[in-house]
Amino acid sequence: MSPEHPISAQPSSEPTPSIEGTPPAETTAGQASSIENQAAISPDSEQFPLPDVVSSPAQPEPLEAGAAPQLSQPAELVYPAPLTEGTPIVQQPAPASEAPTAAPEEVAPAVAPTAIADEVIAVVEPVPPVAPQAVAALIEPALPIAPAVAPVVEASNGVFVSGKAIVLPNGKVGESYSFKFTPDVVDLGSCLNIRVLGPEGLGLTFDQATQALAGMPSLAGQHELRLSYQPATAKAGDPAHIRALQWYVNPDPRSLWTEHEPAADLLARKDHVAHQIVAEGPKTIVAASRRGRSHAKDAKFREDDFRCYFQTESKSYVLAVADGAGSATMSREGSRLACETATDHVLSALSGETSAKLRQLTDAYDAAEGSPESRKALQDELYKLLGNAALLAARQITQTAEAAGHVARDYATTLLLALCHPTANGWLVGAFWIGDGGLGLYRRQEGIRLLGEPDGGEYSGQTRFLTMKETFEASSLYGRVRFELVPDFDALVLMSDGITDALFQTDSNLAKSEKWGELLDGINSAAPLQRDNQELGAQLSEWLNFWVKGEYDDRTIAILF
């Protein structure tokens, strides 16, 4: 996550609560009401003591410190080779804007370039002057720019230096370029033997028919070219006229980003790229995470993390994505602890009575046709399950920070946690969301259903974190748990803000179904979401390297499809 300004919370003197078995009395469809009869957490210091977990009879005991849950063996993480260290490209003599210079509409060459003769761009071999009415007969196809002839000198050596240098519009490496010599620049309408001379490898051609330079610039920097021509009145042996052309090509901004390895003595090391596939049960999970360009440039680790599982006993899927705060020194470890602790608790609870209780409550919900009472009972059970998972994750982070001599905010992280549990008529999808990023259930016909809301602030980069004191205020925590009951779905997606900021830009766009359709279509074109796609994990990791100007944060995504 890029450096941010966390939203501050006003401290309170109320006692520390726990997640009880009886949350608020009322909820409405799709939204949770505030919790009653529970005090707000507001500790006296940054090292806040997190509340104890209180389990109802139907709720299995939370994990003891060091206890390992009974889990099905998850698919093994696959890590590609680390990114290599690059070298900066500094070719421009003066600072150039990263923003690409708008280029005129591309003009394609009249025909494919042909061979070069005599180290110049020669539309034809030198010919004696002819009458203006014969000029049209001399026009030939466009030819590539060739090496310049000897430096331009005075007329005694066969050329005239004519007029001021023409400054061509800037180009950009890898972007289509076109410039036409119009009469207001230089009038070539009645001229003969028109040629453009310049260095090799520029990626341009000159089309005499349109009097245009066009192509794909391939070499950044300042370039000197020559426009050579003869007036229609020239006689045999008359020298050519020369106009100097000055052309600057901006580099591709992607080539300017360097990659550096973090210091060898740093703890909590993490691979720069990771991906995972879980191909068990009726659906498939694919997840991938990539270090952002800004962290690669600054020799930092990837601060995002994820965990994905399929549990055989309950036939459920559990997914988590976390984004460590860019301003927190140990956030990469905070995101790991959040994902690991939260998913461990959910899997452990599902191995006990929770799975059966969820089936009972979803059956009752269907029988009651989604009555407010049946909805609240199901919401309450998910509140205990997912709320306790988040609470235990925050506690684990706090304990780890204290043991290492840090404060909890040094491990600040967001957390997106999702459960997909089978029902008699389809799927129960529950979620907990703290921070930015996005968590949505997508059905192509019905559109997107967000399972929470992104936490934003007055300024860009502001958000809330799992380690903040106000996260576990009862009213706030209950509202962070959402669920949907659906017969089926196309994709359940969890993603960090490195993706949502780049591809959605605004919170309002995050709620638009067409934007989610574009996201999944784009992923499918680069990494087909098919269970038998053996390269899916690597392809999704590569897709995360997409380019959007100004968006260089870590990127992580987990998709259940």
What pLDDT does 175 receive?
Answer: 94
Chain segment 366-397, per-residue pLDDT in tens: 999 999 999 999 999 999 999 999 999 999 99
pLDDT over 60 (residue 24): no
Q: Name the β-bridge partners of 415.
A: 434
Of 393, 502, 513, the residue nearest 450 (C-alpha): 513
User: At residue 31, does pLDDT exceed 90?
Assistant: no
User: What's residue 456's pLDDT?
Assistant: 77
**Sign of the dihedral through C-alpha 500, 501, 505, 511:** positive
Q: What is the pLDDT of residue 81?
A: 38
**Residue 511 and residue 538: Cα distance in Å, rounded?**
29
* 196 sits in which H/E element: strand 192-197
Pairing, β 159-161 against β 177-180: unpaired
pLDDT at 29: 38
Out of 104-113, 162-171, 469-478, least confident range: 104-113
- How far is Cα 479 from Cα 490, in angstroms, rounded to an integer? 25
The two structure tokens encoding residue 229: 């021509």
Mean pLDDT, the chain, rounded, equals 78
Whole-number Å distance between alpha carbons of 74 and 71:
8
Give the max Cα distance, the chain: 106
Percent over 70 (pLDDT), the chain? 70
Q: What pLDDT sits at residue 461?
A: 60
The total of other beta-carbon atoms located within 10 Å of residue 464's CB is 22
Tokens found for residue 94:
């003066």
- The pLDDT of residue 249: 96
User: Which residues on adjacent β-strands are paired with residue 450?
Assistant: 440
Q: Give the 3-state secondary structure of residue 293.
A: helix
Label residue 459 by pLDDT band (50, 70, 90): low
Q: Which of 105-119, 141-155, 282-296 has the lowest mean pLDDT?
A: 105-119
Q: What angle do CA 147, 148, 149 make, to 5 degrees?
A: 120
Burial degree of 323 (CB within 10 A; 0-12, 13-18, 19+): buried
Confidence category of residue 13, pLDDT binned at 50, 70, 90? very low
3 state SS of 423: strand
3-class SS shares of the chain: helix, strand, coil, % to 5: 25, 25, 55
- CB neighbours (10 Å) of residue 487? 9
DSSP code, position 529? -
Least confident of 306-315, 468-477, 492-501: 468-477
Residue with tokens 């390895």: 261
State whether residue 395 is helix, strand or coil: helix
Asked if 38 and 66 count as a contact pair (C-beta separation under 8 A), the reply is: no
d(CA 558, CA 561): 10
How would residue 458 be classed by pLDDT, with cut points 50, 70 and 90?
low
pLDDT exceeds 90 at position 496: yes
Three-class secondary structure of residue 226 per DSSP: strand
Can you tell me the distance from the alpha carbon of 215 to that of 301, in angstroms, rounded to the nearest whole number? 39
Residue 63: per-residue pLDDT: 37
Mean pLDDT, residues 144-150? 39
pLDDT tens track for 40-76: 333 333 444 444 443 433 443 443 433 433 333 333 3
* Rounded mean pLDDT, 509-519: 97
Residue 457: the pLDDT is 58
C-alpha span between 227 and 401 (Å, rounded): 68
**According to the model, what pLDDT value does residue 234 have?**
84
Res. 216: pLDDT tops 70: yes
Structure-token pair, residue 341: 């602790």
First to last CA, the chain: 26
CA angle 313, 308, 502 (to 5 degrees): 150
Positive or negative, the Cα torsion across 508, 512, 514, 520?
positive
When pLDDT is averaged across residues 96-103 and rounded to a whole number, the result is 39
Residue 108, pLDDT above cutoff 50: no
**The pLDDT of residue 153 is above 60:** no
Q: Taking 70 as the threshold, does the pLDDT of residue 256 lie above it?
A: yes
Secondary structure class of 336 (helix, strand, coil): helix
CB 282 within 8 A of CB 244: no
Helix (H) or strand (E) holding 513: helix 513-526
pLDDT of residue 259: 93
Residue type, 490: D
Tell me how far CA of residue 426 lies from CA of 78, 351, 485, 554, in angstroms: 31, 20, 7, 34
Query: Which of these, 364, 391, 353, lies nearest to 57 by C-alpha position?
Result: 353
Residue 117 confidence (pLDDT) above 60: no
pLDDT (tens digit per residue) in 323-381: 999 999 999 999 999 999 999 999 999 999 999 999 999 999 999 999 999 999 999 99
- The whole-number pLDDT of residue 499 equals 98
